[in-house]
Amino acid sequence: MLQRPLMFTLLSFIITTHSSAQNLEDIFTEGKVSGNLRVFWYDGDRELRIDRTALTVGGILSYKTAPYEGFSGGVSLFSSNGITSLTKMPESGQTHNLNLDGSSINTLGEAYLQYSGYDTVVKYGRQRLDLPLSNDYYNRMLPNSFEALSCENRSIDHVTLKGAYITGWKYKGSDTFVSPTYSLGINRDIAVLGAIYSPAAAWKIELYDTYVRDVMNAPYLQIIDNAIWKSSEGTTFSGALQYLNEESVGDSAAGEVDTSLLGLRGTLTKGEWSLSALYTRIGAQSLLGTGGRYEKMGWGAFITYTDLQIDGESENAGAEAYGGTLTYRPSSTFEISAKYVHIDQNDARQSNPSSLTQNPRPDSDEVNIDATYQPYKEFRLRTRLATIDYESGSTSLYKNKAYDETNVRIIADYLF
């Protein structure tokens, strides 16, 4: 992992060698404080199992220095603290808003040195990333964080080039940075290269490659077109396609990997309404490096279009999922949506020891109702009612009962 003393030594060196005492004062006095203070209520009612419930407060408090000749630095405190006796329940940590044992999270989630110039941004240290398999996964109190060297360049018209070398990561529900491959008992870094081509506002093509030595190589393609068709009455059809391929390399520390993801999304929009159709198909093995594997190298959010976030079954070996989303936006301050997904699981593939499926599941149906109200730039309120129903008779693989769940989430944010 990155050596933090080295980062701060670099920052001190740049400041002291390039700035006078007056400039040093300006760097800090003209810096900016920002943050996202959050209150999160999570109540998961699980059939025949202890509920996972927690009321947490905290958020992110950030400070970034003013730039000097392109150089700047930043730090962010990540904090999540349980309050009331409800948070002391045995499985409060499984809300992923606290450490697994239910204790508070208070850690330096970001601490970086940044250079901006020549259409390029280079960042070194603890930071948040936005890459297909390494990203925020910010659907709880806190996001993921990474120890990395990252670079982004926009010197070519309509093209954004990205790269990152990741030596450590912190899961959103943890206060500890570890090797990206700690769960395999080895220490391997992640290298990512990517390009985004967007010749017009309506569409873009993304191409990335994620390489983990002795584990896997994973190229990813996504094509988004937000204006495939428009009618004279104002109806718009948009679509997206995603494809991910994962293959083992080197010592194959995670096992022999050869799997894929195919995802499709189509959306009709007219005025205040939109309707989306969603589809996912997974290859012969479960995906690695995504939200469904958070305990085993899940460096980012669920990548599939069909994920509704209670569980990651749409990333299991042989899974085929389809569903839809209906959204109503009566104003710029309010949005409500209803989402449904059905997942067909493949017993033959899940039962194969080489399928890398840690949690075989029966077929399932999930429904979410989400609402967002943001009357001011600084205040946002979000709610979710979600249910998942397992068809426990559809498979004999799941040795215990498949735990149906209904959960409620209420999230209040103050942004500054």
Say if CB 41 and CB 57 are below 8 A apart.
no
N-to-C CA span, the chain: 31
Cα–Cα distance for residue pair 193/211, rounded to 1 Å: 9
In 33-139, where does DSSP find H-type helix?
none
Closest residue by Cα to residue 320 from 363, 362, 281:
281
Mean pLDDT of 386-404: 74
pLDDT band at residue 21 under the 50/70/90 scheme? very low
Q: Greater confidence, 219 or 359?
A: 219
The number of helices, as runs of H, and strands, as runs of E, in the chain is 3, 18
For 205-241, how does the pLDDT look when each residue is reduced to its tens digit (9 = 90+)? 999 999 999 999 999 999 999 999 999 999 999 999 9
Give the CA radius of gyration of the chain: 22
Mean pLDDT, the chain, rounded, equals 90
- Considering only the C-alpha atoms of the chain, give the largest distance between any 2 of them, rounded to a whole number of Å: 73
pLDDT band at residue 307 under the 50/70/90 scheme? confident
pLDDT of residue 296: 65
Burial of 25 (0-12, 13-18, 19+ CB in 10 A): exposed
pLDDT of residue 218: 98
Mean pLDDT of 106-119: 98
Mean pLDDT of 271-288: 96
pLDDT band at residue 19 under the 50/70/90 scheme? very low
Share of the chain above pLDDT 90, in %: 71
For 172-199, how does the pLDDT look when each residue is reduced to its tens digit (9 = 90+)? 999 999 999 998 999 999 999 999 999 9
Angle of helix 4-18 relative to helix 21-29, nearest 10 degrees, comes to 130
Tokens matching residue 205: 């093509």
Mean pLDDT of 291-309: 79
DSSP-derived letter for residue 66 is P
Q: Greater confidence, 183 or 168?
A: 168
pLDDT band at residue 20 under the 50/70/90 scheme? very low
Is the pLDDT confidence value at 35 over 90?
A: yes
Burial of 185 (0-12, 13-18, 19+ CB in 10 A): exposed
Is the pLDDT confidence value at 312 over 60?
A: no
Closest residue by Cα to residue 384 from 96, 43, 91:
43
Burial of 124 (0-12, 13-18, 19+ CB in 10 A): buried
pLDDT of residue 311: 62
Is the pLDDT confidence value at 11 over 90?
A: no
Tokens matching residue 68: 């000097």
DSSP-derived letter for residue 130 is B
For 129-157, how does the pLDDT look when each residue is reduced to its tens digit (9 = 90+)? 999 999 999 999 999 999 999 999 999 99
